[in-house]
Structures are given as C-alpha cells and as structure tokens.
Chains A and B, each alone.
Chain A
Amino acid sequence: MTKLATVITTSLLEIWAHKLRSLLSFLTMAIGVGAILYTFAITEGTSQRMKKAMAIAGQGRMEIGPKRGGDYKSKGLSPGLTLNDAKAIRSAFPELAMVSPEIERWGAGFIYKDFKDGSLAARGITLEWAKRDWGYTTRGRFLNQTDIDTAARVCVLIEPGRWLKKPWWIKRWASRKDDFNSWIVRRDLLGKNVIIGNEMFLVVGIIQEPTREKDPRWFRGRWSWGDGLMPITTLMKSVTSRYDASDSPDKIDSIDIDTGNEETVSSYRKKIEALMRLRHRGEEDFEVFEYRERYADQIAEQKKTARATLLMGIICVLAGGIGIMNVTLATIYSRIKEIGIRRAVGASRSDIVLQFVIEAMLLGLLGGIFGIALGLLGINTFLKDIRWMDIATFHPIHFMAALTIAVGTGFIFSIWPAWMAAKLDPVEALRYE
C-alpha cells in the first residue's frame, strides 16, 4: 500500500511537472469519454421517454390511413377511406376502446375580428376523439352527439400547453409572436363566433393542453400551429375546406383505433384489415400502422445516431490512448536515468511497470473526469432546452463505465511502453545522460 501511495504521489508530481503535455495527452481521451457519456445518457433517456409516451398514448393504438407514397391509383372500385368505414369497424367490434375517424384540414385559416391566421388546422372529429390520451383541462364544453348529428357549426379550440420555463430556442424559433398559439393563450374566445375556413363557428369549448414539460406526447412530433376541433359531419359538408372538390364528401383522412390492450393489436389488425378489404372491394388503398411500430422505428433511428456517436467516442478514446502511449514513451525517454537510479536502489521490473502504468492510468482518469465534465457540458448546451423531455437520463453506472473506459485505455496503452522501460539494462540506464 505504501508503495502504491508513493507511486501515485510520484505520478501526480510528474503529471503536474508536465502540465501542458499531460493536458494535451488526455484531451482527446476526454472528448471521447464525453461523447460516450453523451450517447449513454441519450440512449437511456430516449428509451425511457418512449416507454412513457407509449404508456400514455394507450397500449393498443393503431391508425388507418390512405395508402401512403402517393402513387396508389384507385381502380375505381373503392370509395376510399370513409366515415362509414369507421362506423363499420365500430359496429363490428364494439369492444374496441376507441374508433376515432378524423379529417384534417391544415391551413384552414382563422379569423376573429382583426386577427387573421392562415395556419390553423381544422380537425373534424367524433366524440371518440376524446377517448385518446386525454390530458386536457376544459373550459366550456366538449363537442356532443347532437353537434355531430346536426353537423352544428360549433368548434372547440385547443389552447397550447404552457411552459413552466420556456427554453430559449422556442423563443427564437417561434419568432412569430402573432401566430395563433401565442395569440389564443391571451384571449378568451369562449362563446365567441370565429371564422374557420370561411365559415362561421361558435366556440363552445376551449381545452388546454398540459404544460409542455409534463406532456410526453410531445416527442411524437405532434407540432401544430393551432388546432380547432369540430364535428366531422360539419367539416365534411364544408366544401370550401377541402382541397379537391371531386373527392367523395364521405372521405376522411384517418381512423385512430385503440384496442385497449397491447396484446390484442395484432389480432385486431388482421380482422380490421380483412373488413376494410371487403368494404373497399379488394382494393388495398389503405394502410394500417401500429404505434408500437412507429416507436420502434423511432427507437431504431435514435439507436443509429447513438451508435455513430458511440463509434466516434470509441475512436476518440483510442486516439486518446495512442496519445497516452506517446506521452508514456516520451516520459520514459526523458526519465531513463531515473529508471536506472530506481533499479539501482532496489526497484524491481514490476515496480517500474507499475510506475508508468499508474501514471498513464492517472492520465486516463483525468481524461475521464474531464470527459465527464465535457459530456455534461455538451448535454447542458445541446439538450438543456429540451430537458423537459427528460432526454438525457443519467445513471451512476454511465459515469462508472466512462471512467472505467478511460482508465482502462490508459492501462492498455501504457503496458507496452512501461514494459520496455522495465526491460532497460540498469547499467545502461544509469549511464544515460
């Protein structure tokens, strides 16, 4: 133990005596360790976030939409995705937790007195819409069955969730201070008449999203410039809000389904696909995708990025290791005489090896500590603004792994030079000037 303490003291003295050289040698290492730590934190954070989002969205979610890719040409047999499809699914499987058809009209346009906004999305929905991951607080009322049945000109506006603490990039990004989202939070439109897509609607309710920090749905990439919900029947009648007047007035954009249970998704998917094919007279003009798949895709995407960062980190750590090796060699060459003296007064070969290996490991440790600082700094700089997403999750094990990698690299890359030093002939070494 005494020996080890002495060795460590000597090493620290030596490192301190060559501050710049030591710093340079572990800088690369530090960058690598930082990158590795960053990767660990993000990978962990992402998967946790996904799980949370999955749990909130509902376990058995899937969505039916028109065939994507745009090159599908109907043979004229299928009427396309219609409200009746949703009704058919609902009556065939009454046990489903949610069958929610929806029409989306992006950029429908919104006017209230002298405020105009062209980017509001009008969403035609049924009451089933509310069965999804509901986290809203309501003022006024939500839509009701009478609204749907009578295609009433009423709407419910979504007030965006507020920030507990607004990240700076949001402030900079959302440079439009006059957009719908920032406008509506400062108004109470309940009971007012507004114009959406050239038609007058009565605002019967306003639902407010939870604060952004607490809304893990956010990561699903749902970004909107403002939403107005209205009865699907109303939107279907409103010709002006459709892009293409030749479309069937029955046509809808999607059907959101929740089986209520993750295990039943696959079996219901098959049944629903069969039903849909039947209704579409054999045309495969629709597409079903499960939320699970979407999460899996996103996780895979994240993992790809993480792997690239990790690879970079490993390369940096290896480069750092070579740097440490280089410094160890330089140290040895500048201390040949010292090696001779130590051997003469009784240092064994393993003492010499220990001396240089410990010194390199300390360099690695310093690099590791530096790297952790760098990694935290990186996470703070690049991810601070999205911290509400819990994107970076730390585990003590990440720090330990990062340090172990750093120290281990110092060890591995110094063994050979240290052994070379130990093998020096003491007589030669003593004579060296």
Chain B
Amino acid sequence: MTLVHCENITKIYNNSFAALDQVTLAIEDGEFISIMGPSGCGKSTLLNILGLLDTPTGGRYRLEGQNASDFKDSRRTLWRRKKIGFVFQSFNLLPRISALENIMLPMTYNGLLRKSAAQKARFLMKLVRLEGKEANNPLQLSGGEKQRVGIARSLANDPALILADEPTGNLDSKSGAEILELFLDLNRQGKTIVLVTHDHNIAAKTKRIIKLKDGRIVE
C-alpha cells in the first residue's frame, strides 16, 4: 500500500527561493528510506511537509490516500498527532518534565487517560532499552539516551510514518550506531521510516536512498 504519495511538490519561500522543486515521491508501507544531500538542498523542508508541519506551495501531497495538502490546520494537527512521529537531531525534549512525561505528551494530546498513557510510555521506554530512567529529567540523560526518549516519544501514538531528521547528527559514533540499530528494529517490526542523514554508512543500511540537490531528486 502506498503510504505517501508526493506529486510535483514545490515549496517556494518569499516568492523566489524554491526549497523544493517539483518533487515526486512515493513511499510504500513498511519502507525504510534515507534522504541525503548537501545542506540547504531541501531535505528538512521535505520532511516537514511529509510530517504535516509545513504546507507545500505547489503540487499534491497524499497521505494514506487523502489529499493532505488541502487540510486545514486543525486537521493537519490531528493527523500529525495520530499518524506521524518526529525524531529530531537536537532531540527537542521538554527540559522541565521527566523522560516518561515527555513520552506521554503526544498521548495526552490524543486524549489518553494519564494512567494508560504512563503505562504505555513505560512500555516504550522498555522498547528503547531505557528502563529505570523514567523519572530522569532530559538534562540528566546522555545524548544517546535523549535520542531514545525522542524515538519512544515518536512511537507514542503508533504512527504510520516516522520522520527522523539527522537523528544521529549530534551523537558519537557508538550511540549513533545504537540508534540506527533501533530504527532498523522498528522497521523490521513494520514501521515506515524516513530518515534524513549526511552519513553514508547509515544511509547504506536503509532499503532505499533518495538524493536531493537544490530541491530536486537527483537519484
């Protein structure tokens, strides 16, 4: 089943600079794709559009067969909450609440009861091998641990699509390898993952590599 279907997606900033230029892309359910390319080639913009954080200025974006480029903000939020999981390079955890509560955040926005959200968050912490660190503040975690929390958070609402923007970019090679292992595991369990990276070694382990340059897919 085609999960994502992009047709001639264009994103133009300030009526002049085209961050994305006629990008056409289809992603099947269960794929693991890496997007590569130099800085400023539009990788993050593409990811944001795929994640319904941003809207294209042109073209059509279909997610699960629905025309998501026409969605209003409220619907985009709802879909982002239920179908998308973001993993960021700089982790983007809320510093004032515990690791567990960070993971619970998307679930509370989804209306889950606090008790069941906590239960599920504990399960997810176990999944990313972070048992025992539930009460820790993100500031008390190492980079690799933070990214595990980030991944657990992205899984909170069982999304159809996980979007990771250079998830290993801020990590040492050992932690980076562990994180990649985690992604591979998730993919084996059937998760669709789109991963932006600079690292050829990482890209090599994914099933498909897409190269972007100046807003266009070159490979």
Chain A positions near chain B (C-beta within 8 angstroms): 2-3, 5-6, 10, 13-14, 17, 337-338, 340-349, 351, 426-427, 430
Q: Which of A14, A337, A343 contacts B77 (CB 8 A)?
A: A343
Q: Are B114 and A2 in contact (CB under 8 A)?
A: yes
Distance (Å) between the CB of A326 and the closest chain B CB? 22
Q: Which of A10, A337, A343 contacts B53 (CB 8 A)?
A: A343
Within 8 A of A (CB), among B101-134: 105-106, 108-114, 117
Residues of chain B lying within 8 A (CB to CB) of residue A427: 48, 53-54
Distance of A10 Cα from B104 Cα, bound (Å): 13
Q: Are A341 and B92 in contact (CB under 8 A)?
A: yes
Distance of A3 Cα from B110 Cα, bound (Å): 9
Q: Are A2 and B113 in contact (CB under 8 A)?
A: yes
Distance (Å) between the CB of B41 and the closest chain A CB? 17
Q: Count B-side interface residues using an 8 Å CB cutoff.
A: 31
Distance of A5 Cα from B118 Cα, bound (Å): 14
| CB within 8 Å for A2 and B111 given contacts A13-B96, A14-B96 | yes
| CB within 8 Å for A346 and B157 given contacts A13-B96, A351-B109, A426-B53 | yes
B78 at interface by CB-CB < 8 Å = yes
Residues of chain B lying within 8 A (CB to CB) of residue A3: 108-109, 111
Q: Are A345 and B153 in contact (CB under 8 A)?
A: yes
Q: Are B97 and A5 in contact (CB under 8 A)?
A: no
Distance (Å) between the CB of A340 and the closest chain B CB? 8
| CB within 8 Å for A347 and B53 given contacts A2-B114, A10-B97 | no
B191 at interface by CB-CB < 8 Å = no
Q: Are B86 and A348 in contact (CB under 8 A)?
A: no
Q: Are B114 and A345 in contact (CB under 8 A)?
A: no
Give 7 nearest A-B pairs by CB, closest first: A346-B81, A348-B77, A346-B109, A345-B106, A2-B114, A341-B92, A6-B108
Distance of A150 Cα from B80 Cα, bound (Å): 105
Residues of chain B lying within 8 A (CB to CB) of residue A347: 77, 81, 109
- Mind listing 6 A-B residue pairs with CB under 8 Å? A337-B92, A346-B77, A346-B78, A346-B80, A346-B106, A427-B54
Distance of A3 Cα from B74 Cα, bound (Å): 17
Residues of chain A lying within 8 A (CB to CB) of residue B86: 344-345
Residues of chain B lying within 8 A (CB to CB) of residue A349: 73-74, 77
Q: Which of B78, B94, B157 contacts A338 (CB 8 A)?
A: B94
Distance (Å) between the CB of B79 and the closest chain A CB? 9
Q: Are A345 and B77 in contact (CB under 8 A)?
A: no
Which residue of chain B has the shortest Cβ distance to A17 in the bound complex? B96
